[in-house]
Amino acid sequence: MLSERLQEELKANPGSHPFDEILYCNIGNPQSLGQQPITFFREVLALCDHPAITGADAIERAWQILDQIPGRATGAYSHSQGIKGLRDTIAAGIEARDRYPADPNDIFLTNGASPAVHMMMQLLISSEKDGILCPIPQYPLYSASIALHGGTLVPYFLDEASGWGLETSELKKQLEDAKSKGINVRALVVINPGNPTGQVLAEDNQRQIVDFCKQEGLVLLADEVYQQNVYVPDKEFHSFKKVSRSMGYGEQDISLVSFQSVSKGYYGECGKRGGYMEVTGISPEVREQVYKMASVNLCSNISGQILASLVMSPPKVGDESYEMYLAEKDGILSSLARRAKALEEALNSLEGVTCNRAEGAMYLFPCITLPQNAIKAAEAATTAPDAFYCRRLLNATGIVVVPGSGFGQVPGTWHFRCTILPQEDKIPAIVTRLTDFHKSFMDEFRD
């Protein structure tokens, strides 16, 4: 843009133009031009976020961030990709995580991960002939977004018997099947750690997936919002970007989008609607398209942008806030790990129920073998058998879980998704009530 170029020229070379500053009379963005926020409004917002500030490094970090925002205006529209300084921080955080370079220009900050997913679907889908490979079971954002944009969901099934493993032979089979129906498969969605399935992919398996996408020319859409949620010592999160780069694949080899959110991890700031996608291996023309889509809603909310930079750059050893931060983080993650274990064990002790480990994410997805009598009763009530079970559970115990049919499952199998999020002191009650309910349910319907 001409005004940006002139701005830079004036900065680099004062006196190079017949004016000494650019006067922006083009956009209705008051605080970018020095209008001060209404004090009362900001006081209330700050108090709602946090009632008291003690950490000196928090104050320092806030000033650092404010200095990265043009005019320190947190109330101004930002660059549609997000504030450049925050994208620098995020790129540095990705580099520290992966030990491979990250470019701030590849980062698009969004109101949570969902709008980023919608943007990619909008870009990839132009008709029902465009297909997207999605895991079954899957977080229904993907099916909803594909439907919204008029594309075709090409399902691939995760293998419950191998801990919700992802077999490339299954990917290949479903891809060929879709091709034979005239579907142009554009991309592969992988959720790692898995939602609703809770598995953490082995690095080896990730390499196979990367190779599959490279060979088939698919965009790899990596939902990595649970990257901080790993609960078992034998598994570790590896980003698909790190795995691809470690295989020697660069920008020209594979198109890769990684989604991250402030809503998950140990932070769990769902209400702040912050997130980003890192888009690599796409052409300048496609990037321009992504940018245009980002511009339609002007920018994502600045608090969410700031929070996205914080989760990718938390306090470090030696910082005043580090010990408290670490205690909070470890407290949350170790408690989640204990809750996952307790619920998994309880579920596996139930008649006809098997449940894989929650290695990561926030969910257990047990398989329930329902008696024929229960299936018949569900049919009589014109509801799916798993929904029938979940409704009875809720009515009897007050426990709310989600039927597997909302996520997709192998036909004839029945599941539900149970989060590990109720506070730890509630877990014993959940275990007891669930166990008692299940026993009486089976007694009522046992064949």
Q: How far apart are CA 288 and CA 433, in angstroms?
A: 54
In the region spanning residues 50 to 79, those forming contacts with a second copy, defined by CB under 8 A, are 50-51, 53-55, 57-59, 61-62, 65-66, 73-78
Nearest to 74 by CA among 50, 46, 95, 47: 46
Task: Detail the DSSP E strand segments found in 88-227.
Answer: 107-110, 130-136, 152-157, 184-191, 219-223
Q: Any contact of residue 137 with a second copy (CB under 8 A)?
A: no
Q: Any contact of residue 222 with a second copy (CB under 8 A)?
A: no
Q: Which of 155, 165, 371, 422 binds a second copy (CB under 8 A)?
A: 422
In the region spanning residues 100 to 129, those forming contacts with a second copy, defined by CB under 8 A, are 111-112, 114-115, 118
Tokens linked to 355: 């449940």
Q: Which of 227, 263, 280, 409 binds a second copy (CB under 8 A)?
A: 263
Phi/psi for 129 (5° steps) reads -80, -10
Tokens linked to 352: 């006809």
Q: Any contact of residue 268 with a second copy (CB under 8 A)?
A: yes
Q: Any contact of residue 40 with a second copy (CB under 8 A)?
A: yes
By beta-carbon proximity to a second copy, the closer residue of 40 and 284 is: 40
Task: Give, in order, the Cα–Cα distances in Å from 404 to each of 96, 132, 366, 412.
Answer: 37, 21, 9, 11
By beta-carbon proximity to a second copy, the closer residue of 246 and 335 is: 335
By beta-carbon proximity to a second copy, the closer residue of 372 and 432 is: 432
Q: Any contact of residue 275 with a second copy (CB under 8 A)?
A: no
Q: Any contact of residue 187 with a second copy (CB under 8 A)?
A: no
Q: Name, in order, each residue with C-beta under 8 angstroms of 246's C-beta and a sequence gap of 6 or more.
A: 100
Q: Which residue has the tokens 């529209």?
A: 77
Number of residues lying near a second copy (CB under 8 A)? 119
By beta-carbon proximity to a second copy, the closer residue of 249 and 259 is: 259
By beta-carbon proximity to a second copy, the closer residue of 13 and 423 is: 423
> Do 159 and 167 form a contact (C-beta atoms < 8 A)?
yes
Task: Give, in order, the Cα–Cα distances in Å from 435 to each of 262, 350, 442.
Answer: 34, 7, 11
Q: Any contact of residue 332 with a second copy (CB under 8 A)?
A: yes
Closest approach, Cβ 310 to a second copy, in A, equals 5
DSSP 157-183: E-BGGGTSB--HHHHHHHHHHHHHTT-
Tokens linked to 145: 């977004």
Q: Any contact of residue 2 with a second copy (CB under 8 A)?
A: yes
* Antiparallel, parallel or unpaired: β 219-223 and 184-191: parallel
Q: Any contact of residue 18 with a second copy (CB under 8 A)?
A: yes
In the region spanning residues 349 to 388, those forming contacts with a second copy, defined by CB under 8 A, are 361-363
Closest approach, Cβ 403 to a second copy, in A, equals 10
Q: Which of 12, 13, 15, 28 binds a second copy (CB under 8 A)?
A: 28
